[in-house]
Amino acid sequence: MIRLRLAVALAGVFCASLAVAQATDPRRSGYLEMGPALQKMQDDDTANPAMLFVQAGAATWAEKVGTAGKSCADCHGDAAVSMRGVAARYPAVTPPLDRPVDLGRRINLCRTTHQQAPALEAEGNDLLALSAFVTLQSRGLPIAPPEDSKLAAMQAQGADLYKRRQGQLNLSCASCHDDNAGRKLAGATIPQAHPTGYPIYRLEWQALGSLKRRLRNCLVGMRAEPWEEGAAEYLALEAYLMDRARGMPLDAPGVRP
Amino acid sequence: MANVLVNAPKTAKKGDTVEIKALIMHPMETGFRPGANGRIIPRNIVEEFSATWNGREVFRMKMSPAIAANPFVSFFTAATESGTIVLRWSGDEGFVAEHRIAITVT
């Protein structure tokens, strides 16, 4: 009995310290910077427009395509089981390549090698929809980039880019997202730039968009020249942002103003 | 097939007010924007949305080019009898979509 009580007490202490750890984590998802109306839109799976894309992605998941005549489901089965936690790890090193790729690229690797079908257009609706569907399977799970030397090198490169001043305004990402997060830039609250909600449905875009697209927006905003499509810089920044958000729960697919 | 997400109760008490929420994937192209080639992209919007309850119309609205892509509509109606609510969207380029909701009224 005493032992049981001790165990309960210890469990209580453990839970309490966990709660304290969470309460003292200064990192905030962009979700928390939104007003209650947009938060409710994101929370309601029948009001969040990104869920339309998830539904489309679920249909693609079950579609047999390519000369292999296989669907994603033929190999991966129930996505709720096989894709659980996957999006929380990417960008990551994945076969047959020997370098980190993002989730969209990983899905396209399956398209071209395993399904023998043409790759889906980068950042096109079909790939975004599949990515949103795969990412949803990690909702609530902590972001957990794998320990990997190649990924670590890319994260370090991303960290440099994040701190480097660029563009006509001579700003770095950190100027806004570290030094001035929580303050206002025109009508918008500057978020801490955590990639927890991607792909997002952004009302301004009236569309689902990738983290890359968000980064391009910020580059244009700081009057820097966006890197060309597929440039390694985007992947490096993504890898760094995921590492910086390590342990934060994924809340994708998000809604943003 | 149109891509629709609907949130409606499966059951209701007679006389209760029920809320029906419906989201549909649609570009709602305004007809005012130039495309990449400089030419105006033809208007392509949902023009009308309606709901019938066992065939009797309970809600209707007209939509305009000012409404954003993937329009979300929510409306209230009184629960009368068990049966089927049919949501219907129609618009440019022959667009028609229907979604049926079964509801039990006690």
Please write the tens of the pLDDT for every residue from A138-168: 999 999 999 999 999 999 999 999 999 999 9
**Residue range(s) defining the domain that contains residue B96:** 4-31+42-105
Q: For strand B17-24 and strand B4-7, is the pairing parallel, antiparallel, or unpaired?
A: antiparallel
| CB contact (8 A) between residue B69 and residue A206 | yes
**Helix pair angle (A149-163, A232-244), 10° resolution:** 100
Domain assignment present for B52: yes
Rounded distance, CA B43 to CA B3, Å? 20
Find the Cα–Cα–Cα–Cα dihedral A241, A243, A247, A249, rounded to 10°: 30
Query: What CATH number is given to the structural domain containing B92?
Result: 2.60.40.10
Domain count, chain B: 1
Under 8 Å between Cβ of B86 and B98: yes
pLDDT band at B2 (very low <50, low <70, confident <90, very high): confident
Rounded distance, CA A83 to CA A205, Å? 28
Rounded distance, CA B31 to CA B39, Å? 10
pLDDT (0 to 100) of residue A32: 97
Residue A72 has pLDDT above 70, yes or no: yes
pLDDT band at A22 (very low <50, low <70, confident <90, very high): low
For residue A56, which residues of chain B lie inside 8 Å, CB to CB?
3, 25
pLDDT (0 to 100) of residue A14: 44
User: In angstroms, what CA-CA distances link A125 with A57, A70, A128, A137, B93?
Assistant: 9, 21, 5, 19, 21
pLDDT (0 to 100) of residue A24: 86
Å between B84 CA and nearest CA of chain A: 20
- CA nearest B69 in A: which residue? A206
Domain assignment present for B36: no
Strand order across the beta sheet in which A207-209 lies: A207-209, A200-202, A255-256
Please give the average per-residue pLDDT across A199-217, as a whole number.
97
Å between A240 CA and nearest CA of chain B: 33
Query: Token digits for B87?
Result: 């949501």
Domain assignment present for B101: yes
Query: Token digits for A210?
Result: 């990738």
Residue A16 has pLDDT above 80, yes or no: no
Residue A201 has pLDDT above 70, yes or no: yes
Helix intervals (H) in chain A:
2-24, 36-43, 50-61, 72-76, 79-82, 103-109, 125-136, 149-163, 173-177, 211-221, 232-244
What average pLDDT does the structure give for chain A? 93
How many inter-chain contacts (A to B, CB under 8 Å) are there?
Answer: 34
Nearest-Å Rg of the Cα atoms of chain B is: 16
Please give the average per-residue pLDDT across B48-75, as a whole number.
97
- Coil, strand or helix: which one is A249? strand
The overall pTM is greater than 0.90: yes
Please give the average per-residue pLDDT across B58-67, as a whole number.
97
Residue A225 has pLDDT above 50, yes or no: yes
| B99 strand-pairing partners | B87
Under 8 Å between Cβ of A143 and A96: no
Rounded distance, CA A155 to CA A171, Å? 20
Residue B97 has pLDDT above 60, yes or no: yes
Quote the percentage of chain A above a pLDDT of 70: 91
Quote the percentage of chain A above a pLDDT of 90: 89
Residue B13 has pLDDT above 50, yes or no: yes
**B72: contact with A, CB 8 A cutoff:** yes
Domain assignment present for B100: yes
Domain assignment present for B19: yes
For residue B10, which residues of chain A lie inside 8 Å, CB to CB?
none
Domain assignment present for B20: yes
Domain assignment present for B86: yes
Domain assignment present for B37: no
Which of A46, A128, A202 to mutate to probe the B interface, most B CBs <10 Å?
A: A46
Catalytic residues of A: 218
**B3: contact with A, CB 8 A cutoff:** yes
